[in-house]
Structures are given as C-alpha cells and as structure tokens.
Structure 1
Amino acid sequence: MLRIGLTGGIGAGKSTVSSTFSDLGGVVVDGDVIAREVVAPGTEGLAALVEAFGSEILLPDGALNRPALAAIAFPDDEKRATLNGIVHPLVGTRRAELIEAAPADAVIVEDIPLLVESQMASLFPLVIIVDADPEVRVARLTQHRGFSEADARARIAAQASEEQRRAVADVWLDNSGTAEELTAAARALWQDRIAPFAHNLQQSTPATALTRLVPADPTWPDQAARIAARLRTTCGHRAIRVDHIGSTAVPGLDAKDVVDVQVTVASLDVADELADALLAAGYPKVDGPTADVAHTDDVASWQKRLHASADPGRPTNVHLRVDGWPNQRFALLFRDWLLANEDVRAEYLALKRSVAAEGHETSGDYAEAKEPWLVDAYRRAWEWADATGWRP
C-alpha cells in the first residue's frame, strides 16, 4: 500500500488534484469530508464544539454553522488550538478506519488540509503540495466560495507559509493557471511517478537509478533532510542517528543523482527488524551483498543492510550500519574529510569524472572502479581525523 500525503493552502486547488487521482484509481481519504462527518448533528464532535464555543456556532436546524465557528476560532491562536484539539483526534480515528478498509495494494491519497501544520509530512512516503499565489487564492475564495476578503486573508495567514510547505514537499504542483492545466499535471505525475512507485512497492523492488554523473544539485541537502525526517519517524528509537552521507552531502561535488542516507543502529538484528517498516515507508530491501568493501582485517565488521527507494522520482540508498563499526564511522569521516579539504574534493571529483567517462553500466562497476583510490583515501582520512581530533 502506497500512502500519499496531499495538501495545500485554502484555495490552492488540491481538490482538483485529489479528484484527478480518484479518477485514476486512487483511494482518496479526504480530510475535509471527514472533518464534516465527525461534527455532523448528533456526534460527540459537535457536542464538544458547542461546549467549547457556545450554541451560537449552530444553525437553527442544529447543524454546525461553519462560518460562525471560523469567525470565532481562526483569528485567535488559543481558540484555534482548542478547535484543532477537538477535531483532529476524531478525524485521525476515522481516517485510520477508512485506510484499514482499503485494498492491500491500494494507492491511498490522504487529502489533509493541515498536514504541514500538524507535522505529519514524515508519515508519508510521498508528500504533494498544491500551491498558488496568495492573491490568486484570495480571488478564488471571494469569487467562488463566498468568503469576504478579510476572512480569506485571515484563513490564509493562519495556515503554513510557503517556506514551511516547501520544506516538506516531495512534489510541488503550481496552480496559478487553469484547472485543466492542473489536471494535466496531476495525471502526468500519476503516470510518471506515482503508478511506478506503487508497482515497485508491491513488488518490493527499488526504483532503477541512472549511473551517470550529474552536476551538483543545490537542492540535494533539502531533499536529504526530508528523507532523513521520514526515516527517523519510520525507525523511531531504533535509529541511533540518521545522517546524509556520500557525494550528495558535499556541496558543489558532482555525483550520481542518488541520495545516500545512513541509519545507525545498535546491531544487524535491529536492522533486520526494521525491514518491514522501511518497506512501508517506501524503501524495500536490496537483494545481494550485505557488506561494504572492507578496509580493515576485521571483514565481519563491515557488514550492513541496504534498502533503496521504490520512488523513481527520488532514487535513494539507505545504509543500515552498526554503531561504532568501521564502515559506519568511515561513512561519516569520508563526508567530513571532503567537506573540510578543498584539495581532496577536487581530487575526488577528478576521479569521479574519469571513472564516469569509462561508461560503466552498473553502480557496482562504477564503485569498483573507484576502489583503488578509496583504499588509500581510507588511510589518509584517518590521518586527518587523528590530526584534527575528529569525532563522528
């Protein structure tokens, strides 16, 4: 089951995207719809709202007067927190019931208005943000949904900022154009990324990553930060630390467009225990060798477990290594050594470009071709560590 988090500010147009995904076979769990269900007449949710905000939030027929509630709660941080404290748990329970009832191989699209504000992004293998310029959103809310301009601006201001949304967005869909353009973009996203992601996940197969070297991407650290947050949530207390490693962790260094992340664990048994959770998060286990190339005589201490992303839009390697073992320490040391030494970075970049020019067909062949240099780099890096007092 692939779970997608979909969100966007009020008036941004995420309903168009969720409707498109539904047409394409996604099971949409709509937070707005659920939020209405849990405060319908006769529910405990509506009773709790009346107790908190008074009977003036009710219509003559006993239903919730949403504009009246919004006028009371949204301009006031404390009252808005009270509202969220009542509604969010009820919505969460109902959402879980709907997901439990879905087919095991479903693509679940969780349309959650306050996904960012509720800090839920790291729960999803893929987060999609629908956005539009605030002025466009104000115009939509006033012209098509009956909001006053003041109310529209207050609602927008009370939600997450663009910066906060971009920090968690795996996919950013701009909806400053027409609904038809947004629908076309959503369909292309489904066909090119979501459907292959779901297929790979069902088959427990990592996405295929290109082996060619590409220019350094300044967004790699931000992408890695989202991945690391997802892995911390997935692994919980069993992850001692989660680190962005490898070439994409070194600004300005050309690399394969594959983000490498290291999850440090207490033992390989713990790494094995995490396999199912990592699969659910979008990272199936990689079949094949379970050890790095050893640079010490203690070959057994270079073992690891390797997972990789099933998402074709963000190739990722997740290395699970044991705390204090030489491969775990060297992954951190090598990154920091490169960061601290411009000459070494230039030397390594020249090596990478030379090896890439040889046209290796697989990542394994590419890595093997770099190995003679890395053997000597292991010694040099540790000499630097001893000289500088480096600690992981």
Structure 2
Amino acid sequence: MSGGIGAGKSTVAKAFAERGGHLVDADRIAREVVEPGTPGLAALVEAFGESILADDGSLDRPALAAKAFADEESRQTLNSITHPLVGARTQELVEAAPDDAIVIQDIPLLVEGNLAPLFHLVVIVHADERVRLERLTSLRGMDANDARARIAAQASVEQRRAVADVWLDNSGDPQTLEGAAAQLWTDRLVPFERNVRERRPAAVPLELTDPDPEWGAIADRLVARLWVLAGDRAVAIDHVGSTAVPDLLAKPVIDIQITVADLEDTASLSEALTVGGFPQVTSIDRDNAKPEPAIGGTDETRWRKRFHASADPGRPANIHIRAAGSPGQAFALDFRDWLRSDPSARAEYAEVKRTALAASDGDPDRYVEAKEPWFDAAHRRVADWKASTT
C-alpha cells in the first residue's frame, strides 16, 4: 500500500488492521532501526558525527537531513546504512505473520523505489493536491512551502496510477474512504488470501464485455509482476489473447504468455507462480492441436503447455507457459497480431464469440468447443497472413 504524503494511508491501514490485517509500516520501521542503542544509530553517528544527536541521545532528524542530503555521496551513505536495516526488519515482521494473515505493507516510497512488482496487490491511496496541502498545513502544522516541496518531490499521480491495482480516492470525507477500504477487504483481499493459501484460482464467470481501455495497463502490471516471479526462467512474457487486441469484444480476462526454453523444466517456475498468486491448473496441459502442413497432420504433443490462473477475484488472468518455437507459442503471438492488423477478422471473431456464448449455456468448456471449428480455419489463415508479411 502506498500514496502521497497527506493522502490518508493511515486511515486505510487502520481499517485493514482493525479487520485483522498484519500491518508492516515502513515509516515506523525506519524510526525503530535508529533508536538509541541500536547499531543503526551508531553507524549514523560514525558516518555523520555526534552533531546528529539530540541532547537525550536520540536522533535529531533535521540535523541528520542537513548533512545526509547535502550531496549525493552523503545521501548514498545514509541509504547504505538504513536501507539494509529496514529491509531486514521488514522481512522479520513479514515472516512473523500467521500463515493465514493478510500482510499489509505500508510503503510511502513504493513507486519511487520501483517496488510495485514485488507484491501480490498494490493499493494506492490518493487525494487531490489541494486537499493534501490543506491537511499537511492545518492538521500537521507544516509550512506551506515545505508541504508543496515534499509533494513535488514524490511520484506523480500518473506514476502512481500506472502501478495501482486498486485506487482509493480520499479527496472526500474519511467515512467514505473507510467504507471503500472495508469493502475492498471483504470482497477482494480476504478471498485473494484464501485462494493463494489453498492454491486455487479465483472463480471467473463466463461473460463477454466491450473493450476496456484499462486492459493494456493491467497487462503491463501483470507482466512486470510475472518477470519478478519468473526471473531468468522466462525467455519472453507477452500480453496475448483478445484483451491484447484493440476494439475487440472479449472475456474480461487478461491472457499472458510466458515463453520458456524447455517446457519439461518448469517445476520451479510453476511453484513460484503459484506462491505468487497464480496457481497452476493441472487439468489443462495443452492447447487444442491444429493441423500443421510442415508435419503433414496433427501432433498433440507439440501443443503442450502449463497453465496457471490468477487467485485474485478482482483481476482475472490466465497464464500460459509454452516452449519457445512450439506451434502454440507462435500461434498465440501471430493470432493476436493478425487480429490487430485486420478489422474484418476482428469483427468476424467477435461474432463467433457471441454465437459460442449463446450456445454454451454458461459452460466454459462448451464455449471453447463452439469456437474450435472457426479456429481450425483461422489457423490456416493466420499462417497465410504471416507468410505474406515476411
């Protein structure tokens, strides 16, 4: 969880903590690791001198700031002392949480530190700058110029929106924010934690919706998160499927393809994805095979994959792990690009979706089966289109 200074993160944190959330507050930890008698304070004194201490032996923060932020070298010295201590203490508190706890990490500089992809879910608390300035000056007694400077030094609204899985607006009264936080806790955080712990995907109703301009941004966040989980076990990670095609009717489920070098060497990747909020669905282990002229027929073994799905009920996603160079891996990318390039194909596919949905009676398997004859023909058309573009 994060947000700009004066946005109201503490209100949301309190609402979560009252409902059983295991709160880990980065600001509180940063103060704790430099309290009197700690190795952290001793290291700061050694680096910056006795003048950073108050009369009672505690840290004089304004005095430290005057020295530590005087130049880049001093700032880096400060960070090299405090950041490892904060990180280690944070890890201790996270690991101390019960197995079924919802851990809430309050990190003011989450965006600035590029930390968003490390978390299952990012909640941003926002308030208009005018509102934040009023709170800082009237409630905290901060000088107006100082308040403006602090706001300006932090991430922009656009930067926070880019990483936000959830956006809580606190420009109004506290009761509205508390209500939104309570609903988020009940409707999303509680089932999300349970699904991750029980290693199962969130249930997703079968429906088609008009294109959502937010699908691309959601996919970008998912891709960033998946890169953290996959690391060098992935060759490429791409947004595929209907939500990757502008102006196309789609199920509101983001499809992501993780390309790997060897599909047989994915056990550790699958475990990392499962723990990271994308449980494996072992009942799905291949795509529907298509005829391949190059081999003179259909070979189902060439269409194998691993399949995961999001445990987050507020962000449906399918994760397809396919081997580099396999027909399924290539088709996922080529089919997406074909639809992007051909408006008539998009319109045709949208109608196929509508017909399949009507015939499915709400059964996802029947919906997929109803589309397969069209996909068999589309596979050949995509191959012809690909050949014409190379």
Q: TM-score, normalised by structure 1?
A: 0.93
Matches within 5 A, 1:198-347: 198-296=193-291, 297-347=298-348
Which of 105, 111, 128 is the aligned partner of 2:106?
Answer: 111
Residue aligning to 1:371: 372
Helix, strand or coil at the partner of 1:329: helix
C-alpha separation in 1, matches of 2:223 and 2:83:
26
Helix, strand or coil at the partner of 1:285: coil
Is 1:43 aligned to 2:38, yes or no? yes
Residue aligning to 2:182: 187
Deviation larger for 241-250 or 63-72: 63-72
Equivalent residue letter for 2:23: V
1:84 to 1:235, Cα distance in 2 relative to 1, 3 A: same
Matches within 5 A, 1:136-151: 136-151=131-146
Alpha carbons 2:360, 2:370 under 8 Å: kept:
no
1:84 to 1:162, Cα distance in 2 relative to 1, 3 A: farther
Matches within 5 A, 1:19-58: 19-58=14-53
C-alpha separation in 2, matches of 1:179 and 1:72:
38
C-alpha separation in 1, matches of 2:207 and 2:160:
31
Helix, strand or coil at the partner of 1:223: helix
C-alpha separation in 2, matches of 1:253 and 1:287:
29
1:340 to 1:79, Cα distance in 2 relative to 1, 3 A: farther
Deviation digits for residues 216-254 of structure 1 (CA, Å, limit 9, x no counterpart): 001100000000000000000001100000000001111
C-alpha separation in 1, matches of 2:352 and 2:320:
23
Alpha carbons 2:359, 2:370 under 8 Å: kept:
no
Deviation digits for residues 288-307 of structure 1 (CA, Å, limit 9, x no counterpart): 13110000322101011110
Is 1:164 aligned to 2:165, yes or no? no
Alpha carbons 1:210, 1:257 under 8 Å: kept:
no
Q: How far is 1:317 from its partner?
A: 0.3
C-alpha separation in 1, matches of 2:43 and 2:144:
30
Alpha carbons 1:74, 1:158 under 8 Å: kept:
no
The count of aligned residue pairs is: 384
Equivalent residue letter for 1:362: D
Helix, strand or coil at the partner of 2:117: helix
Helix, strand or coil at the partner of 1:63: coil
> Percent identity of the aligned residues?
56
Which of 61, 68, 89 is the aligned partner of 1:66?
Answer: 61
Q: How far is 1:28 from its partner?
A: 0.6
C-alpha separation in 2, matches of 1:92 and 1:269:
35
C-alpha separation in 2, matches of 1:56 and 1:346:
71
Deviation larger for 319-328 or 339-348: 339-348
1:164 to 1:73, Cα distance in 2 relative to 1, 3 A: farther
Alpha carbons 2:285, 2:306 under 8 Å: kept:
yes
Deviation larger for 142-151 or 370-379: 142-151
CA RMSD for the aligned pairs?
Answer: 1.7
Gaps of 5+ in 1: 1-5
Helix, strand or coil at the partner of 2:224: helix
Is 1:129 aligned to 2:124, yes or no? yes
C-alpha separation in 1, matches of 2:94 and 2:46:
30
Gaps of 5+ in 2: 292-297
Equivalent residue letter for 2:367: Y
Is 1:361 aligned to 2:362, yes or no? yes
Residue aligning to 1:3: none
Deviation larger for 151-160 or 265-274: 265-274
C-alpha separation in 2, matches of 1:133 and 1:28:
25
C-alpha separation in 2, matches of 1:204 and 1:281:
10
Q: How far is 1:170 from its partner?
A: 0.2
Matches within 5 A, 1:90-109: 90-109=85-104
Q: How far is 1:331 from its partner?
A: 0.4
Helix, strand or coil at the partner of 1:270: coil
Is 1:385 aligned to 2:386, yes or no? yes
Q: Greater relative contact order: 1 or 2 (C-alpha under 8 angstroms, separation 6 or more)?
A: 1
C-alpha separation in 2, matches of 1:80 and 1:158:
15
Q: How far is 1:380 from its partner?
A: 0.6
